[in-house]
Structure 1
Amino acid sequence: MDYGDAISTLISWARTRPDVRGLVLTGSAAEGTAHPLSDRDIQVFATDVPALLEDESWWTRLGEVLVVERLEDDDGNPTRLVYYAGGKLDFTLLPAVAFAGRSYDRPFKVLLDKDGAAGTVVHRPEVAMAPEADEFSESVNWAWAAALMAAKAIVRDEPWSVKLRDHDLKEELLRMIEWEHRARYGSGFDTRYLGTRLRRWMDSDVQAELERCWSGFGARDSEQALLATVSLYRRLAERTARHLGFPVFDHERVAAELHTILRSGTK
């Protein structure tokens, strides 16, 4: 897919549609940091969003469509993640009235503006808030719960369950890594999204420890990865709690229970 041609075709189509009032490019392409394999993220502002959802011909003409994910974003706006041969376009469909006065926490590029709304759109970098004590406690409890259940699955030789629980644990690990880095480097420190660009922002010692946090299906490898994951999570959680002045969690007691479960499989 030639992204330049695809976006030009999209703009030309939008100019012929009275209901499409604006197009905005976001993500790495708007920042000028796109990788050859990066997606193109495009917001479509329209007066009749349901019509664009019903007739999908507008994005099928942009390339050879392979796979489509029909989802919603965190605000409930419909999205269409379209995988083409040689590329991917992520569309978010928004009501036209949402364009004027819109705020973006990352750089953006206006591709089409029929109503002069872009003059009121601003780039306001997001400052991530530190977690509240309750949110921090939730993560710690969820992480250890996932770890305990993963340990039981290892002993029972249920590798699929191990992977599912490990996924839950890894979500909390990433959340804790982000909190810990921002606690030390400041709330404006950019931890990206879902671990993207981690080679650029994540501390090298954390990256090194992550190398030991994944495994195959084998029980022994799964156990070693689980122990490495909880060790890293615990270290970062304790450091973050100190930085933020949160109550001390009894990691040692839960870790002892984890080891008890794992040892039960050797009997």
Structure 2
Amino acid sequence: MIFENGELVVPRLLDWVRARPDVRAVLRTGSRARGEADAWSDHDIELYSTDPEPYRRSDWPADLGPVLASVGLDGPWDNPARLVVFDGGQKIDFQIVPVDRLALLAEELDELHERGYEILLDLDGAAARLPAASGSGPEGELPDEQEFREHCEEFWFELAHIPRYVARGDLWVAKSRDWETKELLLTMVEWHALSHFGPDHDTWHNGIRMREWAAPGVWERMDALFTGFAPEDILHTASATGALFADLARDVAHRHGFTYPEAASRAFATE
């Protein structure tokens, strides 16, 4: 097993890279680059190549070792990306990036690299020109009143479907709609935190570290939002989700002089 533990990933990966003349630099991002990794952290690896296109094939990770699972994606720069779990449990998320992008990063770091990066290989000195990372995330953006109102109405529109699907016995669909409401709630949790702490407050992404960045009292209410598959459980969590959303949205509206669309909440009824 080529990737037996986290300590062996980088040297063995670089041995493989040095046999590939198209790869001119290797960067690592994510928690390992920031020195915040734990035993479950994966490796976020960027290979800067003069010819990224061949990496759209699915077979090349096997050159590194036995592969258990491999998922191909398009990366954020229209580049090949591959997420791989190797035998032994190590997970590596690869981005294969055109080497010319290093020149753009040297002018200004993007949000990902601003949080932190580590140079693992720099054959041509291009990565050495990158500015130091600040370690901070991007400044948060609060909505204007129209975006706020439309977001609230979308939330209550989605929540209104849940009792109907429960009544029909379509519990899978009800749970799917429930998750839609959770994603809309997450945005409101972020806006609420920014309203309390200011635009420099780091709300990360996808709910990561919410326990740390949410405003006081919010995290403690999350437990009620996730229960079982029984109809009464689904309705209970829907009600709890709606109550939390309404409380946060009203507070955001108050702080920014918006009008909260009270009528929209009447779309959700469990009776």
Give me the TM-score of the superposition, normalised by structure 2. 0.88
In structure 2, the CA distance between the partners of 1:134 and 1:48, relative to structure 1 (3 Å rule), is: farther
CA–CA distance in 2 between the matches of 1:36 and 1:45?
A: 27
Q: Identify the residue that residue 264 of structure 2 maps to in structure 1.
A: 254
**2:10 matched to 1:7?**
yes
Contact 2:158 2:180 in 1 (8 A): yes
Alpha-carbon offset, residue 212 of structure 1:
0.6
Q: Identify the residue that residue 109 of structure 1 maps to in structure 2.
A: 118
Moved over 4 A (4+): none
Residues 28-54 of structure 1: CA deviation (Å, up to 9, x unaligned)? 001111121011111111110012223
Alpha-carbon offset, residue 132 of structure 1:
3.5
In structure 2, the CA distance between the partners of 1:244 and 1:15, relative to structure 1 (3 Å rule), is: farther
Q: How many pairs does the alignment contain?
A: 258
Q: Identify the residue that residue 88 of structure 1 maps to in structure 2.
A: 91
In structure 2, the CA distance between the partners of 1:79 and 1:141, relative to structure 1 (3 Å rule), is: farther
Contact 1:41 1:91 in 2 (8 A): yes
**2:48 matched to 1:39?**
no
SS at 1:199 equivalent: helix
CA–CA distance in 1 between the matches of 2:121 and 2:147?
A: 40
Q: Once structures 1 and 2 are overlaid, which stretch shifts more, 114-123 or 207-216?
A: 114-123
Unaligned runs of 5+ in 2: none
Q: Identify the residue that residue 183 of structure 2 maps to in structure 1.
A: 171
CA–CA distance in 2 between the matches of 1:75 and 1:82?
A: 19
Alpha-carbon offset, residue 219 of structure 1:
1.2
Alpha-carbon offset, residue 217 of structure 1:
1.5
Unaligned runs of 5+ in 1: none
Residues 169-228 of structure 1: CA deviation (Å, up to 9, x unaligned)? 000111111111012112121212211222322345211211111221211111111000
Give me the TM-score of the superposition, normalised by structure 1. 0.89
Alpha-carbon offset, residue 75 of structure 1:
4.0
SS at 2:100 equivalent: helix
Alpha-carbon offset, residue 113 of structure 1:
1.1
CA–CA distance in 2 between the matches of 1:136 and 1:78?
A: 36
Cα RMSD (Å): 1.9
Query: For 1:192-203, what aligned pairs fall within 5 Å after superposition?
Result: 192-203=204-215
Alpha-carbon offset, residue 55 of structure 1:
6.6
SS at 1:91 equivalent: strand
**What is the one-letter code of the residue matched to 2:117?**
F
CA–CA distance in 1 between the matches of 2:229 and 2:114?
A: 40
Contact 2:153 2:261 in 1 (8 A): no
Identity over aligned pairs, percent = 31
Alpha-carbon offset, residue 74 of structure 1:
4.0
Query: For 1:199-214, what aligned pairs fall within 5 Å after superposition?
Result: 199-203=211-215, 205-214=217-226
